[in-house]
């Protein structure tokens, strides 16, 4: 999606160079990945902030951008897909040294240490909570090659980047640093692959854990299990268990509220009877129909919904009435219904408006 660099840095188009630097410093620190670990939105925001600063802090690029937008930059040979945003950040905050690229790449994991898996839950399991045993696969460094992917753990410096893990490319008037595409930033090359892991540097392991599913978990919610993710060379990640909740054949969940459709015969609705319905647990509830209950009327039962996983407050059970009418009637039933109709002063063959507001309601159908 296209975004405006000035809006990203929260600046006007007349912002000075100092304004741009101040805005970048503030936002880059706020959205830096080290402060927002595991937050994908913050990570994306950090990338946008760096890209915006890369353009607006350069007079030539800013001029092109102001005149022609992003397309003007691309047509002039300026590209951004390969920019190392951490280089921009480190240079701006004075953290870059001659060996910074090498030290950073040497501490780089070859795979994401955080791990996400899906757990399928029955509707009632999600609402009332339960205990679940899970078996899942995770990555850990190969014992044979110590995670290097090389036979006997022996590697050599990458001949393309000289072991730096990064290479410089010239695009137009600008020199751009990007991750070495040959060693993928590690600075090392494998001569002979480790036979145990086929050069990947890691092995797949199995693990079994028992987790508690809290009451009220909803579809798409995640449970974090600390220290049970992938095992890296330098750190161990967390396991995130994402809930996938099956639908119920009678109840529909919306937030903490439960909805159920209750079929009611038209005579019950007219008479205003009291009927029994069941909540999700199977307990009986008394549903008192007002005389002349209309189709789709909703009757609310407080504290009969889902317990909120955070506040522990219960939602509502909302019973929506569905009026059922017979498809056919016999002669005796017809005679009784005609008498009932006549008792309301309604003659056969005539329309019955019901109230003076019917015309306004019909107009509302088309608005």
Asked if residue 194 belongs to a known ligand binding site, the reply is: yes
The 3-class secondary structure across the chain, one letter per residue, is: CCCCHHHHCCCCCCCCHHHHHHHHHHHHHHHCCCCCCCCHHHHHHHHHHHHHHHHHCCHHHHHHHHHHCHHHHHHCCCCCCCCCHHHHHHHHCCCCCCCHHHHHHHCCCCCCCCEEEEEEECHHHHHHCEEEEEEEEEEEECCCCCCCCEHHHCEEECCCCCCCCEEEEEECCEEEEEECCCCCCCCEEECCECCCCCCCCEEEEEEEEEEEECCCCCCCCEEEECCCCCECCCCECCEEEEEEECCCCCEEEECCEEEEEEEEEHHHHHHCCEEEEECCCCCEEEEECCCCCCCCCEEEECCCCCECCCCCCECCEEEEEEEECCCCCCHHHHHHHHHHHHHCCCCCCCCCCCCCCHHHHHHHHCC
Asked if residue 130 belongs to a known ligand binding site, the reply is: no
Residues annotated as binding site? 142, 145, 158, 161, 180, 183, 194, 197
Residues annotated as binding site for Zn(2+)? 142, 145, 158, 161, 180, 183, 194, 197
């Amino acid at each position: 999606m296209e975004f405006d660099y000035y809006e990203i840095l929260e600046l006007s188009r007349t912002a000075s160079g100092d304004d741009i630097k101040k805005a970048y410093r503030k936002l880059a620190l706020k959205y830096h990945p080290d402060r927002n670990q595991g937050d994908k939105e913050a990570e994306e925001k950090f990338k946008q902030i760096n890209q915006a600063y890369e353009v607006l802090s350069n007079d030539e690029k800013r001029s092109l951008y102001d005149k022609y937008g992003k397309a003007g930059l691309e047509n002039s040979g300026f590209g951004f897909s390969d920019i190392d945003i951490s280089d921009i950040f480190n240079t701006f905050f004075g953290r870059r040294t001659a060996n910074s690229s090498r030290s950073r790449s040497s501490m780089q994991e070859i795979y994401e240490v955080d791990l996400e898996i899906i757990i399928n839950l029955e509707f009632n399991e999600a609402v009332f909570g339960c205990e679940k045993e899970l078996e899942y696969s995770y990555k850990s460094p190969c014992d044979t090659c110590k995670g290097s992917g090389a036979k006997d753990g022996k590697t050599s410096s990458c001949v393309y980047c000289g072991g730096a893990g990064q290479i410089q490319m010239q695009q137009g008037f600008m020199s751009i640093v990007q991750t070495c595409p040959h060693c993928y930033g590690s600075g090392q090359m494998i001569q002979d692959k480790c036979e145990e892991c086929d050069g990947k540097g890691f092995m797949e392991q199995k693990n079994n854990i028992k987790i508690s599913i809290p009451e009220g978990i909803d579809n798409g919610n995640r449970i974090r299990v600390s220290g049970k993710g992938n095992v890296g060379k330098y750190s161990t990640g967390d396991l995130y268990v994402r809930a996938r909740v099956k639908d119920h054949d009678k109840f529909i969940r919306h937030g903490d509220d439960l909805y159920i459709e209750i079929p009611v015969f038209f005579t019950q609705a007219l008479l205003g009877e009291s009927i029994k319905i069941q909540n999700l647990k199977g307990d009986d509830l008394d549903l008192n129909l007002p005389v002349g209950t209309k189709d789709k009327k909703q009757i609310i039962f407080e504290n009969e919904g889902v317990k909120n996983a955070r506040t522990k407050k219960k939602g509502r059970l909302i019973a929506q009435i569905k009026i059922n009418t017979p498809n056919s009637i016999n002669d005796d039933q017809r005679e009784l219904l005609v008498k009932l109709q006549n008792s309301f002063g309604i003659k056969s063959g005539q329309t019955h408006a019901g109230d003076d507001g019917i015309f306004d309601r019909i107009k509302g159908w088309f608005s």
